[in-house]
Structure 1
Amino acid sequence: MLLDWLSAPRTTRGIHVACDDGTWRFTSYARLAVDARRIARRLRAEGAGRGRVVSLVLDDPYRFISAFMGTLLAGAVPAPLAPPTALRGTERYHAHLGRVFRAVRPELVLTEDDHAAVVRRGLDGAGRTAARLLLPGALASPGTPDDPGADAVEGEVLDRPDGELALIQFTSGSTGDPKGVRVTWGSLAANAEACRRWLGWTDEDSFASWLPLHHDMGLIGGMVMPVATGTDVWLMRPQQFLRSPLRWLECLGRRGATLTTAPGFGYAYAARRVRPEQLTGMDFSRWRGAVLGAERIDSIGVADFTALLGPHGFAPRALVGAYGLAETTVAASGVPAGRGSRLVRIDATALRVGEPVAVRERAVLGEHRVGGEGWLTGCGVTVHGSELTVVDASGAELPAGSFGEIRLRGRSLADGYQGATGARVPFAPDGLRTGDAGFVEDGELYVVGRIGESVTVQGTSLYAEDVEADLKDLREPGAPVGCAVAFGSTQGADHVVVFVEGRVTPDWLAAARARVSARTPDTLRMTFLQGSRGSISRTSSGKPRRRTMWELLLRPGTGPRWTVACGSPPVPAPV
């Protein structure tokens, strides 16, 4: 089980945390066991025992891990939340905290001194005035692994019933407010075992990650899996990665890490920021699993990444396309490790629910520098214990190769959502309809995009991710630093709005407008809006919140300030 490592924690393996001065801080699993038990005892003393919710608002990776494991050991339910540094805008963060605190109703919040005031305000705003804060000073652990702190917590139970609630993790909120997902001990253990089988995770592996620990990819893949298996893990904060992606690569090219996971953005970003001469002396031949998930994969950016690392032993077959979501703990499907990930090009302008998808071309991720309109990366086959089907609007299962909505069932599926009032909201009896559109071809899943972020014109669906991929493929000088696309309908007309972040040249704008016009129907009105750097609303994990941006656009005076670069913005229908 996931807490078995506490029975005989290792002294030579553990957690390496990146420090801002360029060094790494190592803490053994033996020491982590001491700190987790100390925190568990303190939580029990504070009344946060079995079944009580404890929220975690922590930046420091080691503090987060020890608090998370200590909460599990106490029998309480951790509810990790994004720290203030993950969301731009103080008022937006206050509103976010208020929503999540009303849903999870924590007894205690483990946080840091710098966040105490904003967390207290969030609790009070959510009516949780009796909830208490525990700060790092209250959890200080100056002892050593062989002091009395290493003794078991009274009443310690490492093996919990499958149906008992283990964790509440929040969705990214890319299409609305984040939802609290109720992960049971059974679904958590099932998905951890599925990930171990999928990646062939062994005692000889080690992991490197820069993803935020409060969200499923970083939480389960970057923390729970390494700790539960007792393998070394190298952890950076997202801001550290953005400052120096070379440090992440050093974990895999110098320090021996063999597995990592990141959105496609991370690989493309490293390819842009790291110079070939900086990789001198690195060896990536042991890097056998580079998982890509969370967003549409930039296949051209990934090809640039493999071209950069290829001379130093990195093989394209190490690229592992995957599909997952918080509702399935983390992973739903993945390319078998070591096989390589497939690419297909479809006619994205001819997608109709229930009809077959025509594949026009095929390629291999990392080997072929192709991308843009219609190119999709395969997300593999379902992980052990899970079932994936594609259904039509009525929920009827569609034949293989047909386009529709992805539905999931199986042992990894969570126990529903934590409702706004704290009540459980179950998934549908026939499984989770994900809101993602895609198809299965040759046994492998391909994800096209979010159903709520598309528009259907004359029976054909057009997805925001397709338009964004097409614009990203545009090699005209003067491209923006960020770009997001939103669809919507007002006053009887369908619109596509392209939000560009940062300065663009007139040549780029003209070329981009021509690109969008060429792949959208004449009946679709088009607008380009330009904003300053940071104007695009994003989730705590970096995904654009397209629907939120559209809604703010229809409420003048709210949200960031945008100027019209071309076209005319949509206006709300008169009341």
Structure 2
Amino acid sequence: MTTAPPVRHVGFRTLPDALWHRGERQPDRTAYVFLKDGEDATESLTYGELHEAACRRATTLSAAGLTGRNAVLMYPSGLEFVRTLLGCMYGRVAGAPVQPPRRRAEVERLRRIADDAGTSTVLTTTDVIRDLRERFADLPALDGLDLVATDDPGALHTGDPGTPERLPDPQDIALLQYTSGSTGHPKGVMVSHANFLANVVETDELWPCEPRGTVVNWLPLFHDMGMLFGVVLPLWAGIPSYLMAPESFIRRPARWLEALSRFGGTHSAAPSFAYELCVRAAESGMTAGVGDLSSWRVAVNGAEPVRWSVVRAFTDTFAPHGFDPMAMCPAYGLAENTLKATGTRADREPMVLWLSAEALREGRAQPVGERTDSAVPAVGSGRDVAGTHVRIVDPVTRQPRTPGHVGEIWISGPCVADGYWGRPAASEDTFRARVADDPDDATPHLRTGDLGFLHDGDLYVTGRMKDVIIRRGRNHYPQDIELSAERAVPGLQPNCAAAFSLDDGERERLVVVVEAGGRVLGALGADGLRERVREAVRTEQRITPDDIVVVRRGKLPKTSSGKVQRRACRSLYQDGELTRLVPSGREA
């Protein structure tokens, strides 16, 4: 393997173009390295090896009659996912990445996604198939699914790996990215090859990969942020990517920082809670092995609300390790826009506005002094670049909102996906919205369902429309309530609370679910924790929860990237399936 200078990416029309080019011109250059347990570089791929592996898988898929069709990709984090993803792209098969099921409900979700994608083919590994059959063989959801182990040489085309008859066109579907919601019917976002290329071009313009770029990624690869930063961007830019499994990070967060230091990582992305876990690890003396972080110039912070306290704590904690405060880059994106929509450039520190909480509840972003009573911080998510444009629109009238007023975030540009697979009506409503009473703007926009405002050109995200809790005509944002609950008692973990509302037919009720570990429960008991949370929310948010449910740690529904799933939690609450702790600390 070699570290020769990268071949520039001028002229690439698709990601398969980039791999074909690099496989021919840079066959011995390192493309991806997998870190076992987040530490040991046990497996790697050069561009030449990846090109051959992708060709072999493409030939196999073509022989199975899958060209032009869909297939589910069910892989743990690792290099086999990368081989098969690129094999699908070479073979013009649209892959639908999913997480290998850990629970029975996730098997049902797998089946719903396969049915929605119109396929019975599930590409995966030998170990995953064995685990599925040992744990879930009795589930009817697996009936009729064709599980294919692409890491089994016997399942692949033998002999010459062959070459694809033709590479995909930019407008062909590259991926079906299913949204992370866990209830109802999953929706597959149709991401084209052109979408992927537009998004990485914009990402590179915002956070340049040169000089000497290196990615370190622990996010799950089936997740949009993990895939783009861990797989797509490095391949397009021709820079190495060091991958580890999410559980390696969760078990010991310092592994992420150690890998960045060890391999000279320049680009890495994570949600806010990951940066907070690193701060807590440092406070517990668990980051002694973290070395020099001065090479880390782009620390993307997104996928959930960015907390100013975490930004400050992380930059202060790791400044002695050479971490540059300007490397912290809050950003905003979503699968329907391929990923990135806005981001903070790495040549300035993150922006924060202190706002009047009262005005914010009324839909106005009114800046106040940091020490003003009821002042709340809002962290900027940066600006759009290149062809992407962000507007703030009244979600009811569809008229533009003026700067400083909260509305729905609408996006237009080349990164907006084609729509939802097999859902023309939903696609028309979500991906092709038009601003009312604006004859000069006939551009179709993506309705994100997120709320925010613009200030001096920067986007500030305030919450999701469906999650906003309205009480007496005022908006209360669930993430603010959750933060108050999380901080009510020392020892509670990041992302340990879910706040949502329910209409009982007479009024809207506020429910807060909090998960706690044995140490907190041993010190306070379930009742004591409930009272602390109730008082914190009432005092800080001026709203009193109608019900506070305490559950054991690990019982709160979350996505694979660690985000709390409010709607899934609400469904469990409504169905009586949340196992709440009674005063004795036992489950009831």
Does TM-score exceed 0.5, indicating one fold?
A: yes
Q: What is the distance in 2 between the residues matched to 1:534 and 1:34? A: 41
Match of 1:224 among 215, 232, 236: 232
1:428 corresponds to: 432
Kindly indicate whether residue 289 of structure 2 is the aligned counterpart of residue 266 of structure 1: no
Structure 1 residues 24-423: aligned runs within 5 Å: 24-25=41-42, 26-49=44-67, 51-85=68-102, 90-106=103-119, 108-116=121-129, 129=144, 131=146, 133-138=148-153, 148-149=160-161, 153-157=163-167, 160-173=168-181, 178-202=186-210, 204-274=212-282, 278-279=287-288, 282-351=291-360, 356-361=364-369, 374-392=376-394, 393-419=396-422
Contact 1:348 1:466 in 2 (8 A): no
Tell me how far 1:148 sits from its aligned partner. 4.8
User: Which amino acid in the other structure matches residue 535 of structure 1?
Assistant: K
Q: What is the distance in 1 between the residues matched to 2:163 and 2:578? A: 50
In structure 1, the residue corresponding to 2:152 is in which secondary structure? helix
Seen in structure 2, the aligned counterparts of structure 1 residues 283 and 22 have a Cα distance that, compared at 3 Å, is: closer
Count of residue correspondences: 542
TM-score (norm 1): 0.86
Tell me how far 1:216 sits from its aligned partner. 0.4
Kindly indicate whether residue 467 of structure 2 is the aligned counterpart of residue 453 of structure 1: yes
Q: Which runs of 5+ in 2 are unaligned?
A: 1-11, 435-444, 584-588
Contact 2:124 2:147 in 1 (8 A): no
2:532 corresponds to: 511
User: Which amino acid in the other structure matches residue 395 of structure 1?
Assistant: R
In structure 1, the residue corresponding to 2:303 is in which secondary structure? coil
Seen in structure 2, the aligned counterparts of structure 1 residues 21 and 452 have a Cα distance that, compared at 3 Å, is: closer
Q: Which runs of 5+ in 1 are unaligned?
A: 364-369, 566-575
Q: What is the distance in 2 between the residues matched to 1:21 and 1:281? A: 13
Seen in structure 2, the aligned counterparts of structure 1 residues 265 and 142 have a Cα distance that, compared at 3 Å, is: farther
Contact 2:77 2:220 in 1 (8 A): no
Seen in structure 2, the aligned counterparts of structure 1 residues 156 and 424 have a Cα distance that, compared at 3 Å, is: farther
For structure 1, which segment, 196-205 or 441-450, has the greater mean C-alpha deviation from structure 2 after superposition? 196-205
Q: What is the distance in 1 between the residues matched to 2:452 and 2:426? A: 29
Tell me how far 1:211 sits from its aligned partner. 0.1
Q: What is the distance in 1 between the residues matched to 2:45 and 2:493? A: 41
Seen in structure 2, the aligned counterparts of structure 1 residues 132 and 237 have a Cα distance that, compared at 3 Å, is: closer
User: Which amino acid in the other structure matches residue 534 of structure 1?
Assistant: G
2:568 corresponds to: 548
Q: Percent identity?
A: 30
Seen in structure 2, the aligned counterparts of structure 1 residues 103 and 130 have a Cα distance that, compared at 3 Å, is: same
Seen in structure 2, the aligned counterparts of structure 1 residues 174 and 555 have a Cα distance that, compared at 3 Å, is: closer
Q: What is the distance in 1 between the residues matched to 2:305 and 2:567? A: 17
User: Which amino acid in the other structure matches residue 428 of structure 1?
Assistant: R
Tell me how far 1:454 sits from its aligned partner. 1.5
In structure 2, the residue corresponding to 1:44 is in which secondary structure? helix
Structure 1 residues 13-32: aligned runs within 5 Å: 13-20=30-37, 22-25=39-42, 26-32=44-50
Match of 1:538 among 558, 564, 568: 558
Contact 2:360 2:366 in 1 (8 A): no
Tell me how far 1:268 sits from its aligned partner. 0.9
In structure 1, the residue corresponding to 2:89 is in which secondary structure? helix
Seen in structure 2, the aligned counterparts of structure 1 residues 519 and 314 have a Cα distance that, compared at 3 Å, is: closer
In structure 2, the residue corresponding to 1:254 is in which secondary structure? helix
User: Which amino acid in the other structure matches residue 195 of structure 1?
Assistant: T
Contact 2:56 2:157 in 1 (8 A): no
User: Which amino acid in the other structure matches residue 137 of structure 1?
Assistant: D
In structure 2, the residue corresponding to 1:383 is in which secondary structure? coil
Q: What is the distance in 1 between the residues matched to 2:274 and 2:290? A: 22
User: Which amino acid in the other structure matches residue 184 of structure 1?
Assistant: S
Seen in structure 2, the aligned counterparts of structure 1 residues 156 and 462 have a Cα distance that, compared at 3 Å, is: same
Tell me how far 1:495 sits from its aligned partner. 1.6
Deviations 1:341-374 (CA, angstroms, capped at 9, x unpaired): 1112222343356x531012469xxxxxx9x972
In structure 1, the residue corresponding to 2:352 is in which secondary structure? strand
Runs of 4+ in 1 over 3 A off after TM superposition: 117-128, 138-143, 174-178, 274-281, 422-426, 476-481, 506-511, 519-522
Contact 2:70 2:96 in 1 (8 A): yes
| CA RMSD, Structure 1 to Structure 2 (Å) | 3.1
Contact 1:97 1:122 in 2 (8 A): no
Contact 2:171 2:192 in 1 (8 A): yes
Q: What is the distance in 1 between the residues matched to 2:172 and 2:556? A: 39
Deviations 1:228-275 (CA, angstroms, capped at 9, x unpaired): 222111101100111222221122212111110000111110121246
User: Which amino acid in the other structure matches residue 60 of structure 2?
Assistant: R
Seen in structure 2, the aligned counterparts of structure 1 residues 480 and 162 have a Cα distance that, compared at 3 Å, is: closer
Tell me how far 1:540 sits from its aligned partner. 2.6
Match of 1:493 among 507, 510, 529: 507
Q: What is the distance in 2 between the residues matched to 1:442 and 1:492? A: 42
In structure 1, the residue corresponding to 2:345 is in which secondary structure? coil
